[in-house]
Amino acid sequence: MKRAVSDSIYYVGASDRRLALFENTFPLPNGVSYNSYLIDSDRTALTDTVDRSVADVFFDNLAEALGSKPLDYLVVHHVEPDHAATVADLLLRYPDVKIVTSAKALVLLNRFNDADYTARTIVVKEGDTLDLGKHTLRFVAAPMVHWPEVFVSYETATKTLFSADAFGTFGALGGNLFADEIDFDRDIKDEMRRYFINIVGKYGVQVQNLLKKAASLEIAAICPLHGPIWRKDLGKVIALHDTWSAYRPEDQSVVIACASIYGNTARAADYLADRLAERGIKGIRIYDVSKTHVSYVVAEAFRASHVVFAAPTYNNGIFIEMEHLLHDLVAHNFRNRRFALIENGSWAPQSGKLMQSMLSALPGVTQIGETVTVCSALNADARRALDCLAEAVASEF
Ligand code: FEO
How many residues are present in the chain?
Answer: 397
What is the rounded CA–CA span in Å between residue 24 and residue 262?
Answer: 30
Query: Rounded to the nearest whole angstrom, what is the distance from the C-alpha of residue 200 to the centroid of ligand 1?
Result: 9
What is the rounded CA–CA span in Å between residue 77 and residue 84?
Answer: 9
Pocket of ligand 1 (CB under 6 A): 78, 80, 82-83, 146, 165, 225-226
Q: Say yes or no to pLDDT of 219 above 90.
A: yes
Q: What is the pLDDT of residue 1?
A: 83
What is the rounded CA–CA span in Å between residue 314 and residue 4?
Answer: 56
What is the rounded CA–CA span in Å between residue 51 and residue 146?
Answer: 17
Phi-psi region of 24 (alpha: psi -120 to 50; beta: other; left: phi over 0): left
State pTM to two decimals.
Answer: 0.96
Q: What is the pLDDT of residue 15?
A: 98
Portion of the chain with pLDDT greater than 90, in percent: 99
Q: What is the pLDDT of residue 259?
A: 98
Query: Rounded to the nearest whole angstrom, what is the distance from the C-alpha of residue 125 to the centroid of ligand 1?
Result: 20
Query: Rounded to the nearest whole angstrom, what is the distance from the C-alpha of residue 146 to the centroid of ligand 1?
Result: 7
Taking the CA of residue 226 as reference, the ligand 1 atom at the shortest distance is 1
Q: Say yes or no to pLDDT of 395 above 90.
A: yes
* Per-residue pLDDT tens digits for 238-262: 999 999 999 999 999 999 999 999 9
Taking the CA of residue 34 as reference, the ligand 1 atom at the shortest distance is 1
H-run or E-run covering 211 = helix 204-215
CB 319 within 8 Å of CB 355: no
Taking the CA of residue 225 as reference, the ligand 1 atom at the shortest distance is 1
* Per-residue pLDDT tens digits for 76-100: 999 999 999 999 999 999 999 999 9
Distances from the Cα of 394 to the Cα of 23, 277, 284, 385, angstroms = 39, 9, 12, 14
Q: Which amino acid is at 342?
A: I
Q: Say yes or no to pLDDT of 2 above 90.
A: no
Distances from the Cα of 153 to the Cα of 137, 176, 260, 324, 369, angstroms = 6, 24, 48, 37, 48
Q: What is the pLDDT of residue 352?
A: 98
Which residue's CA lies nearest to atom 3 of ligand 1? Answer: 80
Q: Which residues pair with 46 in a beta bridge?
A: 38, 74
Helix axes 294-303, 320-331, angle to 10 degrees: 50
Q: Say yes or no to pLDDT of 351 above 90.
A: yes
Q: Which amino acid is at 294?
A: V
Portion of the chain with pLDDT greater than 70, in percent: 100
Q: What is the pLDDT of residue 312?
A: 98
Confidence band for 22, pLDDT divided at 50, 70 and 90: very high
Q: What is the pLDDT of residue 11?
A: 98
The stretch 333-358 carries a mean pLDDT of 97
* Per-residue pLDDT tens digits for 137-173: 999 999 999 899 999 999 999 999 999 999 999 999 9
What is the rounded CA–CA span in Å between residue 307 and residue 64?
Answer: 51
Q: CA nearest 268: which of 308, 298, 296, 302?
A: 308
DSSP string covering 260-311 = -SSSHHHHHHHHHHHHHHHTT--S-EEEETTTS-HHHHHHHHHHEEEEEEEE
The stretch 331-348 carries a mean pLDDT of 97
Q: What is the pLDDT of residue 86?
A: 98
Query: Rounded to the nearest whole angstrom, what is the distance from the C-alpha of residue 207 to the centroid of ligand 1?
Result: 14
* Per-residue pLDDT tens digits for 271-288: 999 999 999 999 999 999
Query: Rounded to the nearest whole angstrom, what is the distance from the C-alpha of residue 31 to the centroid of ligand 1?
Result: 15
Taking the CA of residue 150 as reference, the ligand 1 atom at the shortest distance is 2
The stretch 36-45 carries a mean pLDDT of 98
What is the rounded CA–CA span in Å between residue 397 and residue 195?
Answer: 28
Query: Rounded to the nearest whole angstrom, what is the distance from the C-alpha of residue 100 to the centroid of ligand 1?
Result: 18
Taking the CA of residue 200 as reference, the ligand 1 atom at the shortest distance is 2
Query: Rounded to the nearest whole angstrom, what is the distance from the C-alpha of residue 367 to the centroid of ligand 1?
Result: 35
The stretch 108-123 carries a mean pLDDT of 98
Query: Rounded to the nearest whole angstrom, what is the distance from the C-alpha of residue 77 to the centroid of ligand 1?
Result: 10
